[in-house]
Amino acid sequence: MELNLNIPDIVKQICHKFNAQGHQAFVVGGAIRDILLGRESPDYDIATDALPEKIASIFPDAIPYGNFGTMLLVRGDTKIEITPFRNDAPGRKPNYTFGGTIETDLARRDFTINSMAYDPLSGKLIDPFSGLDDLKARTIRCTGSTRRIWEDPLRALRAARFQAQLGFTIEPSTLYSLKAHASMLRTISRERIRDELVKLITSDHPFDGLVTLVVTGLLKYMIPELMEGMGMQHHNKPYDVLEHNLLACKYVKNSLHLRLAALLHDVGKPRCAAEGSNGLEFPDHHLKSAEMAKSILKNLRFDNKTINKVVLLIKHHMFKYLADSPISEARRLISKVGWENIYDLIELRKADRLASGFDEAVGPGLKKLIYDLEELKNEKSDYTIKDLDLSGKDLIEFLGIQPGPLVGKLLNILLEDVIENPKLNRREILLEIARKHLRGGSLCE
Q: Where are the domains of the chain?
A: 9-131, 138-222, 251-382, 386-440
* Strand partners of residue 327: none
Mean of pLDDT values over 33-48:
92
Residue 9: pLDDT band by 50, 70, 90 thresholds? very high
Q: If one looks up domain 9-131 in CATH, what number appears?
A: 3.30.460.10
Closest CA to 352 of 258, 233, 220: 258
Whether residue 92 has pLDDT greater than 60: no
Alpha helices in 167-205 (DSSP H): 172-180, 190-201
Q: CA dihedral in degrees (41, 258, 228, 246; nearest 10)?
A: -60
Residue 260: name the closest of 229, 228, 302 by CA. Answer: 302
Q: What is the mean pLDDT of the chain?
A: 93
Q: What is the reported pLDDT for 382?
A: 75
pLDDT value of residue 96: 61
pLDDT at 89 over 60: no
Question: Taking CA 319 as the corner, what is the angle to CA 235 and CA 369, rounded to the nearest 5 degrees?
Answer: 115
The pLDDT tens digits of the residues spanning 168-191 come to 999 999 999 999 999 999 999 999
Answer yes or no: is pLDDT of 49 > 70.
yes
Give the per-residue pLDDT at 94: 47
* Average pLDDT rounded to a whole number, residues 301-320: 98
pLDDT at 443: 65
pLDDT recorded at residue 103: 95
State the DSSP H helix or E strand holding residue 240, giving kind and residue range, or none if neither: none
- Flag the least confident range among 233-237, 288-292, 365-369: 233-237
Greater confidence (444 vs 246) lies with 246
3-state SS of 23-53 is: CCEEEECHHHHHHHCCCCCCEEEEEECCCHH
Determine the Cα angle at 287 with ends 284 and 293, to 5°: 135
Q: 185: which residues sit within 8 A by CB, 6+ positions away?
A: 153, 156, 157, 193, 218, 221, 222
Asked whether residue 76 carries a pLDDT value surpassing 90, the answer given is no
Same topology between domain 9-131 and domain 138-222: no
d(CA 232, CA 243): 10
Check: pTM over 0.85? Answer yes or no.
Answer: yes
235-287 pLDDT, tens per residue?
Answer: 999 999 999 999 999 999 999 999 999 999 999 999 999 998 888 999 999 99
pLDDT of residue 99: 77
Q: Whole-angstrom Cα distance, residue 71 to residue 65?
A: 5
pLDDT of residue 373: 96
Cα 119 from chain centroid (whole Å): 35
pLDDT per position as a tens digit, 376-416? 987 776 788 998 999 999 999 888 889 999 999 999 999 99
pLDDT above 60 for 363: yes
Indicate whether 55 pLDDT > 50.
yes
Among 29-33, 113-117, 151-155, 434-438, which is the least confidently predicted range? 434-438
pLDDT of amino acid 88? 60
pLDDT of residue 106: 95
* pLDDT band, very low/low/confident/very high, at 40 (cuts 50, 70, 90): confident
Question: In the chain, pLDDT over 90 holds for what percent of residues?
Answer: 82
Q: What is the pLDDT of residue 445?
A: 47
Classify residue 183 by its DSSP letter. G
- pLDDT for 42 equals 78
CATH 3.40.50.300 applies to domain 138-222 = no
Distance separating alpha carbons of residues 396 and 70, to the nearest angstrom: 67
